[in-house]
Amino acid sequence: MSNKIIVSLTMIIFLFGSIMAQTDVSPGDGTLKEAITDASPGDVLVLESGGLYTEVVDTAYFISKPLTIKAADTATEMPVVQMLSVDAGTTEDGPQFFILEDGASLTLQGLEFNGLAYTPDTANYVPVENLFSFPLVNNKQIGTVKLYDCYVHNMTNKIFAGYDSDFETLENVNIDSVIVENSRFYMVEAIKFRYVGLNYLKVENCTFWDMPDFGIYLRGIGGKEVVVNHCTFHNVGNAMGGINGSTDPMTRFRMDTPSSISVKNSIFTFQEDEPAVDVRDDGITGVISHCCLFEIPAGINPANTTVSDIIIADPKYANAAEGDFTLAGDSPCLAQADDGNAMGDLRWDPNLTSIQDEIQIAETFKLAQNFPNPFNPETTIEFTLENSAHTDLSIYNVLGQHIATLVDSKMASGVHEVSFNAGNLSSGIYLYKIVSGEQVAIKKMVLMK
């Protein structure tokens, strides 16, 4: 399957938080490892748009301090990270992307992680096993791990390897929080915790598909809080042609002691034998609500959680085989979430005019929704600048390809309007992005001919 599947709003950047020292990292082999080694706690490493970052020596990036690794603010293509450190034909284990050591906190934003599994590259390299793993040492305290706007695919093992039998003997290894937002996961295995402790997990606006294992599996981390909101799960937990020897539930919660879960506003499609949500302990309370299930004979195993507002219907994806889960205009999932939006990952909501496409840096800097919207063929875009600055206003398709530049000049503060004529474009969803000084915003618009 091509890597150039629809990415919708993965260009949206995380615009909040304190500003740390930023270091631009050039593409190439070993450059990211060197930048991680040289970084001070709290630094931000900025990767180039579309850059390829490889590692042929070390089998993992070791993180032992707070760090952010992100795409450049103006990136129109995701930087790609690959591990090429274990040659095919050896008896060595596969590499990891990150090993989190004592004192680590890590934010990843706007990046693609290609593990090379199930691709022709395995003729040359042993594929990556895990995105996040842990050293086999007791008494490790890890801070918050955040994954924003990332694409993680083609790995032989876990997104978070907090369950693997190698870690069964570990004691007092804990992560404070894991927050996963606006990210996509294809041909990898679960966010999985048991032997590594976890206090809080939030998974929101994410898509999981064609995964030969659980999407999320939590066990033995009782007394914690788990939130799964606006996610799309498709073909998760099936045997996948023998890659996995058995089928698994799409999500399983077996925390062993009293815990709270919230699974809502999500879509679960195509699971041969197992439940979409499998709650295994009566001590788990919470809600499973406003979800759509389709082609899941086993349904939901709720235990003592409260289940409500479940739809059993075809969500009408555009093309699930190609990773396009955009909902049709007559999808039964539209406007059925508890917040009035569509169920599932909001990037697939064709009517989205809020949430992630309305992120702003400050109230005095604003990118308004185009009007009219939908439009044919002309529309007006209004924006407000807080300060006089060089400003770029550009149009992109959902693959991140540049379509047109509407503004590329220094502009005064205040309210501005620009017209856009899409007479030469096909119907569909387009993005418009403004960069003015250090301020950035992005929105979605719909051309309907």
Low-confidence ranges of the chain (pLDDT < 70): 1-20, 164, 222-223, 241-245, 256-258, 353-363
Burial class of residue 171 in the structure, from the number of CB atoms within 10 Å of its CB (0-12 exposed, 13-18 middle, 19+ buried)? exposed
Rg, Å, the chain Cα set: 22
- pLDDT score recorded for residue 245: 64
Q: What span, in angstroms and rounded, lies between the C-alpha atoms of 51 and 28?
A: 8
- pLDDT score recorded for residue 266: 98
**Residues 125, 86: contact at Cβ < 8 Å?**
yes
SS3 168: coil
SS3 407: strand
Mean pLDDT, the chain, whole residue set: 87
What is the identity of the amino acid at 276?
A: A
SS3 347: helix
CATH code at 366-447: 2.60.40.1930
Homologous superfamily assigned to 8-354 = Single-stranded right-handed beta-helix, Pectin lyase-like (2.160.20.10)
SS3 8: helix
**Residues 38, 45: contact at Cβ < 8 Å?**
no
- pLDDT score recorded for residue 300: 97
SS3 34: helix
pLDDT in tens, 237-273: 997 765 666 789 999 998 766 688 999 999 999 999 9
Domain parsing of the chain, residue ranges: 8-354, 366-447
pLDDT in tens, 122-157: 889 999 999 999 888 888 889 889 999 999 999 999
Alpha helices in 159-230 (DSSP H): none
SS3 299: coil
Question: In DSSP terms, which residues pair with 219 in a beta bridge?
Answer: 254
